[in-house]
Amino acid sequence: MISGKKSEREKFAGALETYAIEAMMSDGKALQMGTSHNLGQQFSKVFNIRFEDRDQKLQYVWQTSWGVSTRLIGALVMAHGDDSGLKFPPNIAPVQVVIVPIPTGNWKENILPLARDIEKKLEKEGLRVKLDEREEFTPGWKFSEWEMRGVPLRVEIGPKDIQKKQVVVVRRDTGKKESVAQSSINKKLSEMLKQIQKNMFEMALQFQKQNTHEVKDYDEFKAIMESKRGFIKAFWCEDRDCEEKIKEETMATIRVILMDKDKKAARGKCVFCQKSTETVVYFGKAY
């Protein structure tokens, strides 16, 4: 994710400043979200919204607007999901662990009570757990369904696991299976959820880095936008004509302008007109 200011052209009408988060989706396109505006006193003057200050004088309020909306959820689906469906980061997953008992033999006497014990143990640990004891579906059907719903961890319990005092745990982020001792399942699963959270963030960040290009010139810019998409980090002279021409020719727009603190190189040349500038921006194709 990259955050920064929006260019003049994309500011919300009347806002003094507009800040945004841009995230790269798995197809290399940019999605803007969580946009916030410093609206200043523009609207409070129009609608006459005032307050009495400490000197008992009437003042127009200063307003901000925060775009924390369902678009953030859309970004989550598109950035992390795969061909099997959703992939929830554990911290916000409605269900973090699903337990699927394998229904063979006298499973209701042998396996189900243990599954219920494990459910309680994990809930006590503070985890969000679901025990799937539906009888009308096969385990395979359930595995696919919970994968599609993006549950970070699946616990399978079969007759062999009872004997070995273990369970099989499958990670949604990597698909890796491992056996976990029943005695330490609460600690182990908490740990695994933390690892998944970290791994999912790192994978998304790595994808963004791999697909963010710095270009020498405008020809290279055009070639990348045609073939690979992703973000292009480049200098821009702050002239709107340059931005418009780049958009016409490549469909890429300025997604964010880097804040001063994030700039590394001091000066460079505008990728389009070669004019000297200090402003660094990210270009990308937006939804």
Q: At what angle do helices 71-80 and 185-210 cross, to 10 degrees?
A: 90
Query: Pattern 240-259, binding to Zn ion, x per CB under 5 A?
Result: --x-----------------
Cβ count within 10 A of residue 279: 18
Residue 208 host element (H or E) = helix 185-210
Binding segment (CB under 5 A) for Zn ion, from list 75-83, 91-99, 154-162, 266-274: 266-274
Q: How far is the CB of 58 from Zn ion (least distance, A)?
A: 45
For Zn ion, the closer of residues 231 and 235 by Cβ is: 235
For Zn ion, the closer of residues 189 and 225 by Cβ is: 225
The answer to the question of residue 234 lying near Zn ion (CB under 5 A) is no
CA 246, CA 243: separation in Å to the nearest integer? 5
- Residue type, position 177, single letter: K
Q: How far is the CB of 9 from Zn ion (least distance, A)?
A: 14
The answer to the question of residue 237 lying near Zn ion (CB under 5 A) is yes
Question: Strand 58-60 relative to strand 63-66: parallel, antiparallel, unpaired?
Answer: unpaired
For Zn ion, the closer of residues 125 and 220 by Cβ is: 220
For Zn ion, the closer of residues 220 and 239 by Cβ is: 239
Short-list 19, 7, 17, 13, CA closest to 46: 13
CA 103, CA 3: separation in Å to the nearest integer? 49
* Binding to Zn ion, residues 268-287 (CB under 5 A): 270, 272-273
Q: How far is the CB of 237 from Zn ion (least distance, A)?
A: 3
Contacts of 217 (CB under 8 A, 6+ apart): 271
Residue 194, both tokens: 């933390």
Tell me the CA distances in angstroms from 35 to 1, 17, 97, 103, 250, one per residue in order: 13, 11, 32, 49, 24
Q: How far is the CB of 268 from Zn ion (least distance, A)?
A: 11
Q: How far is the CB of 186 from Zn ion (least distance, A)?
A: 59
For Zn ion, the closer of residues 35 and 277 by Cβ is: 277
For Zn ion, the closer of residues 25 and 270 by Cβ is: 270
**DSSP class of residue 106?**
S
The answer to the question of residue 19 lying near Zn ion (CB under 5 A) is no
Binding segment (CB under 5 A) for Zn ion, from list 54-62, 87-95, 162-170, 232-240: 232-240
Q: How far is the CB of 238 from Zn ion (least distance, A)?
A: 8
Tell me phi and psi for residue 124, to 5 degrees: -60, -30
Give residues in contact with Zn ion (CB under 5 A).
Answer: 237, 239, 242, 270, 272-273
